[in-house]
Amino acid sequence: MSKNNVGLLIAGLLICVFLSLAGCQRQQLTDPEKMGQKFETYFDHVLKSIDATAEQKEQINAIIAEIRHDAVTVYHANDLNQGLIVNGILTDDPDRTALHEKLHQKTMEMDSFAHRTLDHLLEINALLTAEQRAELKYRYEQSHGKITQ
């Protein structure tokens, strides 16, 4: 597998996950499950477009379900953390150290989520054939332009 193909798969899936999370918050959607359903629907479409086998679909959908569950958990944790940070900032005497610590904790949680997601995406990459990865790359470049290194 080439670096470009792995990079394409990782970039595409990470973008989808993070946009799903960001979309939940920016659009004031209170149901991250609905965004997760859209995420899974999108991947069903992607798997059909690359002619994934029934076995590949089953294995990949199980991985996607794990990513979705993890993303929803992170989303709910973000709601709690965001409230704590906003409340901390809006007090008469904000505790700067505690706020920085909470922000650092939130950053580390997102970093951990990104690494778990990357590991899942590498699992998906291992399930795809070279032809399927090439098709993903082609479709990505048709939509977003040539992948730069």
Would you list the domain boundaries of the chain? Answer: 3-144
Return the pLDDT at 21.
53
Return the pLDDT at 111.
92
Cβ burial of 85 (10 Å; 0-12, 13-18, 19+) is: middle
Return the pLDDT at 26.
47
H-run or E-run covering 27: none
Angle CA(57)–CA(19)–CA(142) in degrees, nearest 5? 65
Sequence-ordered list of residues with C-beta below 8 angstroms from that of 123, at least 6 positions apart, any chain? 63
Return the pLDDT at 60.
94
What does the alpha-carbon distance between residue 85 and residue 87 come to, in Å, rounded to a whole number? 5
pTM of the model: 0.71
pLDDT tens, residue by residue, 50-63: 999 999 999 999 99
Angle CA(117)–CA(123)–CA(128) in degrees, nearest 5? 125
What does the alpha-carbon distance between residue 36 and residue 63 come to, in Å, rounded to a whole number? 13
Return the pLDDT at 114.
92
Q: Which of 56, 17, 22 is nearest to 39 (CA)?
A: 17
Whole-angstrom CA distances from 133 to 52, 71, 93, 94, 102 are 11, 24, 54, 50, 39
Return the pLDDT at 1.
53
Q: Which of 45, 48, 6, 25 is nearest to 133 (CA)?
A: 6
Query: Can you list the residues of the chain whose pLDDT is less than 70?
Result: 1-30, 79-81
Share of the chain above pLDDT 70, in %: 78
